[in-house]
Structure 1
Amino acid sequence: MNRLMRQVMASLGLAAFAVPIAAYAGEGNAQDQHHSANDNEIRHVLLISVDGLHQQDIARCIAANTCPNMALLARSGVTYSNAYTPGLSDSFPGLAAMVTGGSPKTAGLFYDVSYDRTLYAPSDTSCSGKQGWNVVFDETTGIDAENGGALTHLDGGGAFNPQAIPHAKIDGACVPVYPHNYVKTNTIFEVVKQRVHGARTAWADKHAWGYDWLNGPSGKGVDDLSRTEINSIDAATGTDYTDVYTHTEQFDNLHVQSIINEIDGKDSTGKQSADVPTLFGTNFQTLSVAQKAPVASGGGYLDASFTPGRQVSDAIGYVDNALGKMVDALKSRNLAGSTMVVVTAKHGQSPTDHTKLVKNGDTLTALLEANNYLDPNGRFGQASTASGNLNDGTGLVGTGLVQTDDVGLIWLRDQSQVQDAVATLKANLSCNAPGICADGPQAYILSGQKLAATFGDPALGRTPDIIVQPNLGVIYTSSKKKDEEHGGNAPDDSHLGLIVSYPDGHHHERHVNRRVSTTQVAPTILRALGLDPQLLLSVRAEGTRPLPDLNEKD
């Protein structure tokens, strides 16, 4: 276990789990597994994440017979109609839930753009300067973005952007903190690699280098991590792949082909032979882009009942067709009888009811700046670089940060001001200027002991000091390019689709209505492969249980 991981374990209070940590580190042998995967009917797990996929989307399309492939998966498994993200719905905590079994409290991931008071700047290789760094692990984590360069390569340039990698002082040494060092707990990919003899793992996602954290603290969890960057410039169009959902389909098609290549006994590129992964999967972006698109241009939903607009309807059809291609590939290779398929989402999207949409601009950030809780001119973190280019390593240190979408995560530059800042926020709850639109029944401001109990102690450096959940439908922007967002804990953000489909013919369709969390996906996957879910540190720390009603065959 590396030094950063030891420090993290101490900060999480996980020192008591020395035995499982040793097992996680590969210091035991295969005989101390909970079960042997070789004795289990399930040999492979395919995990599919569809950004924006609500439970209501699944229910509607199955009822309307517009997603026949998803319906087939549901018929041989369990559909969880009351599944939710664990508190925040950005892509990082959303995916971390599925692959660590933990919430942000133990995984330590709150957003792809976040803040850590204990870290030093990328340029501070001796860890001798000021602490507190705005950690940005997004499209600018690839070396194409070095010095603010254009994102010209699909693979992000083929390496990390050194200007995006902060430092930490561990046991007296100043060490770089890559995304896999930043995640605070181990992942299912690591456990499968270490506990199933000869196992291979693979994943494909939207950022080429920011998703390195899926490797877990060992840095070695994913054998084949597809390096594809959705924000890279497509030479054919001169734009990135998020400009319109039909363009995003082209990007997602790369990942569909990666999965088919892996099913066919090749690596994700299709250029080399490789064992079929024991654990593999991918993420879709097309639906998310269609949901965000302005309603006036056919994006989003038509009403509060999740009736899809033209773009969303097309996107769901596209995803369903892609699922069919992957399942057909499993069948053609005689793998459908030994592969469990999980379909869910990192996050939903809000608001689906366009009548609730409020875009007054980033009033939360403006209020914090106006009252001097953050720099009054917005000079904080990566928003203030010497060149004006994001994530070029010249951002300011020790500034605090506010991250807003349809939520507000606040790291104050001076933590002693928490009570004063909360008082200011509470005095400006309305939607009238300079109000923050958090005066509704589902809105709240979280701080102090209640925040620490749910998300971890801000004093340790990673957890925000204050979390603001505004009224349902509020997006802290004035942009006309999107009418929906995610990141918070509104129902449309957090209520997700979740289908666990057992191998062909082994189960009959079931529906489970009890509330579950997407953190339960991770221990469910390990148990299906014959492994002890307790090998995941977050599962032990948070008491995460496998999903219910999957124990017995019909």
Structure 2
Amino acid sequence: MKATRRWSAGVAALGASALALGGALAPAQASETDGVKHVLLISFDGLHAQDVARCIAGNTCPNLALLAKSGITYANAFTPGLSDSFPGLTALVTGGSPKSAGLFYDVSYDRTLYAPNDTGCVGKQGWNVVFDETTGKDGENGGPLVHLDGGGAFNPQAIPRARVGAKCVPVYPHDYVKTNTIFEVVKENMPNSYTAWADKHAWGYDWLNGPSGRGVDDLARTEINSIDPATNTYYLDTYTHTEKFDDYHVQALINEIGGKDSTGTRDEPVPTLFGTNFQTLSVAQKATVATGGGYLDAGFTPGPQVTGAISYIDNALGRVVAALQQQNLYSSTLIIVTAKHGQSPTDHTKLVKNGDTLTKLLEANNYLDPNGNFGQNNTKSGNLNDGTGLVNTGFVQTDDVGLVWLRDQSQRDAVVTTLKKNLSCNAPGICADGPQAYILYGPSLVNRFGDPAQGRTPDIIVQPNPGVIYTSSTAKDEEHGGNAPDDSHLGLVVSYAGLHHPGRRVDERVTTTQVAPTILKAFDLDPHLLHSVALEGTRALPGLGLRSDE
């Protein structure tokens, strides 16, 4: 029996203006997802829409093809403006962009926060927030990441502080996300529900629990940046080694489908809502073309590593579906296959790696410390997130995008002028002189990503020409994080045995934020229970015969 719809206290707290976005609730109508008891969400990071089309046409992903045959393929699905892992997954589980959810990158900056060691919140504000592999206890004092579970606890040096009333409190990742998650909504509105998730960082992804801190019953603690004791090397060193890490997630899902927890050591209900993330494809895409990584041409023809990675993730998908079938759960499970982000550039001829010219330009003009002494770039140990980074310095995060938090916000217009004078790819230019590049600031940035004056949103976002990576690294030829076509255009397949007209393709442009309200509607829950959905007016995916939002 499906849960009744009701409004949570969290949504009520948003106020009448936010609730008005949702409009009046329509009476329940029959939908093609009647009978859904479980939802499985899988992110194959790096999976482009073109990868899905090519592998299905070429019969190199037979398991995904079977799901597409019994489901709907969304050929024009895109991330909401930024495509790093945090905003990419936030879109899928909150229904919102960084504007409402507040997550721009796993390494970012917040002008309102205090340093972790400022236990009285009496010093300067402005902290470089780092919720990545170093958020686990192993990262304390820059230590080696020797445990798969990240050390079994939070690294206290990684947890910034905030003043709340008269108190100075720690800000854990679940405190940092600004809006609730689908896991919280399911827990609060479906009696006896159970939730589970596994991801690439053991402690940084605590934010999936949402502001309550309790959204995910079984949040697997797996750290991809840890050292494999069997080889004494990192799981990320090659895509075939990353397969071993992703196998932990396959087994976690199989355990959960079989009525166990993710470790397989205790009995638990089969999750109502569960899922995981896979990294193998992403690692193969990033590998240099010279070593067999990436793609062979502009048509997304996979190189040897990507070919192997697609075969692996498809086999992993087949193992999970087989487990659902074995437990007689396949017919009652809605399966969603997508990605947090793609990878750019897939066309190797567009690759430009001139180094981090954006940061260098800002330093050279004294908009940031000219010697790089800002944020977590300056620590006593030289290791990121040891708690000794500088406060109130501004910060720049670059990959195939540039996020700029200025040391002095009053210099914004001068900074923009400097950037616009240096758009070319010739030093010291930032390689943003093409038609798909832009510098976002002022009202346009506020409209898309929120107001920098509130402390969380970058002052300036630089989207360089597609193909540009702000690095001189020889270890990778592709990256993600921005809004280039190759890292924002994703694969998305929604499959359910009960669909009336399966095997369809939807060409309408959609965003990955629409996955979250779709999941709630499949459970017959009101999507506006998600704060981001109420604030941003996010619609469910079309074509599933779901109850109208109107």
Fold in common (TM above 0.5): yes
In the alignment, which of 380, 387, 395 is matched to residue 393 of structure 1? 387
State which of 172, 179, 188 in structure 2 corresponds to 1:194: 188
Q: Is the 8 A contact 1:430 1:436 kept in 2?
A: yes
AA aligned opposite 2:460: I
Q: Is 1:109 aligned to 2:103, yes or no?
A: yes
Indicate which of 93, 116, 126 corresponds to 2:120: 126
Cα distance between partner residues in 2 of 1:49 and 1:504: 22
**What is the aligned partner in structure 2 of residue 344 from structure 1?**
338
Aligned to 2:163: 169
Q: 3-state DSSP class of the match of 1:116?
A: coil
**1:433 is matched by which residue type in structure 2?**
A
**Distance in 1, Cα, partners of 2:423 & 2:28:** 51
- 1:381-427 C-alpha deviation (Å, 9 max, x unpaired): 11101221210111000010000000000000100000000000000
Please give the root-mean-square deviation of Cα atoms over the aligned residues, in Å. Answer: 2.0
Match of 1:221 among 215, 219, 236: 215
C-alpha distance after superposition, 1:505-553 (max 9, x if no partner) = 7542110001000000000000001111010000000000000010169
Distance 1:531 1:9, change over 3 A: closer
Residue equivalent to 1:362: 356
Matched, 1:230 2:224: yes
Matched residue SS, 2:92? helix
Query: What is the deviation of 1:239?
Result: 1.6
Q: 2:537 is matched by which residue type in structure 1?
A: G
Instruction: Tell me the distance in 2 between the aligned counterparts of 1:168 and 1:97.
Output: 25
User: Could you list the runs of 5+ residues in structure 2 that have no partner in the other structure?
Assistant: 1-9, 21-25
Give the deviation of 1:228 after TM superposition.
0.3
2-side partners of 1:269 and 1:46: how far apart? 18
Q: Which residue of 2 aligns with 1:5?
A: none
Q: Does residue 487 in structure 1 map to residue 487 in structure 2?
A: no
Cα separation, 1, equivalents of 2:428 and 2:214: 48
So what's the TM-score if we normalise by structure 2? 0.94
CA deviation profile, 1:31-84 (whole Å, cap 9, x unmatched): x997999x9400000000010000000000000001000000001111000000
Matches of 2:441 and 2:507, distance apart in 1: 31
Question: Aligned-pair distance for 1:249?
Answer: 0.2
8 Å CA contact 1:154, 1:229 repeated in 2:
yes
2:65 to 56, 71, 75: 71
2:281 alignment partner AA: L
Deviates more, 1:490-499 or 1:504-513: 504-513
State the Cα distance separating 1:199 from its structure 2 match: 0.3
1:407–1:265 CA distance, 2 compared to 1 (3 A):
same
Instruction: Give the Cα separation in 2 of the matches to 1:162 and 1:220.
Output: 20
| Mapped partners of 2:539, 2:546: distance in 1 | 16
Assess if the C-alpha contact under 8 Å between 2:11 and 2:19 holds in 1. no
After TM superposition, which residue ranges in structure 1, 4 or more long, deviate above 2 angstroms? 13-20, 32-37, 503-507
Q: What is aligned with 2:526?
A: 532
Residue 24 of structure 1 corresponds to which residue in structure 2?
none
CA distance in 1, matches of 2:385, 2:477: 27
SS in 1 for 2:197: strand
Say whether residues 1:428 and 2:422 are aligned partners: yes
Q: Normalising by structure 1, what TM-score?
A: 0.94
* Aligned-partner Cα distance in 1 for 2:383–2:17: 43
Aligned to 2:510: 516
Contact 2:136 2:203 in 1 (8 A): yes
SS in 1 for 2:308: helix
Aligned AA (1:435): G
Q: Which residue type is aligned with residue 275 of structure 2?
A: G
Give the 3 Å change call, closer, same or farther, for CA 294–116 of structure 1 in structure 2.
same
SS at match of 1:134: coil
Residue 297 (structure 1) aligned with residue 267 (structure 2): no
Q: Is the CA contact (8 Å cut-off) linking 2:115 and 2:161 kept in structure 1?
A: yes
- The answer for the alignment partner of 1:89 in structure 2 is 83
Q: Which residue of 1 aligns with 2:309?
A: 315
**Cα distance in 1 for residues equivalent to 2:42 and 2:360:** 38
Residues 266-322 of structure 1 show CA distances to partners (whole Å, capped at 9, x for unaligned) of 000001011000000000000000000000110000000000000001100100000
Question: How does 1:14-29 map onto structure 2 within 5 Å?
Answer: 14-16=14-16
Q: One-letter code of the match for 2:15?
A: A
Distance 2:342 2:96 in 1: 18
Count residues in correspondence. Answer: 533
Name the SS for the 2:538 alignment partner: coil
How far the C-alpha of 1:18 sits from its partner, in A, is 8.2
Identity of aligned residues (%): 75
Instruction: Report the CA distance between 1:14 and its aligned residue.
Output: 3.7
Q: 1:269 corresponds to which residue?
A: 263
Q: Are residues 1:334 and 2:339 paired?
A: no
Deviation at 1:132, TM superposition (A): 0.2
- CA displacement, residues 335-358 of structure 1 (integer Å, 9 cap, x when unaligned): 011000000000000000000000
Give the equivalent residue in structure 2 for 1:3.
none
Q: Which amino acid aligns with 1:515?
A: R
Contact 1:107 1:183 in 2 (8 A): yes
Q: Assess if the C-alpha contact under 8 Å between 2:499 and 2:544 holds in 1.
A: no
Unaligned runs of 5+ in 1: 1-7, 21-31
Q: Is 1:33–1:531's contact at 8 Å kept on the other side of the alignment?
A: no
SS in 2 for 1:136: coil
Do structure 1's residue 376 and structure 2's residue 370 form an aligned pair?
yes
Does the 8 A contact of 2:342 with 2:486 survive in 1? yes
